[in-house]
Amino acid sequence: MIIEHFQGDTFIAEGQLLNDLGTPVDLTAEGVTVRSEVRLDGFRPADAPVATLTSAIVTTDYTLTATDTTGWPTSMLVCNVRYVKDGKTFSTHEFKIKCMMSPTQ
């Protein structure tokens, strides 16, 4: 999946964690933390992230946000979502963010 995003706009991604039956998990009750970083496509492990997204959880829904994206490069970026519960970590597949310069300045 590729999300198109204009540099300088607020980046917002929303989601849910589904269990094996396809039912949303109550992240708050289960004590799940949600974490996400944006990096340049083709990054090396030593490369710093472009951004660490702020996560907000409301029961079964989460929102990942970056309010200031003015420093994001106009390039293809990659991201995924990492969940941690009881010391166990699992992640989504990556998705791409095509960061572009906005025609309206």
pLDDT in tens, 48-98: 999 999 999 999 999 999 999 999 999 999 999 999 999 999 999 999 999
pLDDT in tens, 41-55: 999 988 999 999 999
How many CA atoms does the CB half-sphere of 44 hold within 13 Å? Answer: 2
pLDDT in tens, 16-32: 999 999 999 999 999 99
Q: Are 7 and 97 in contact (CB under 8 A)?
A: no
pLDDT for 105 beyond 90: no
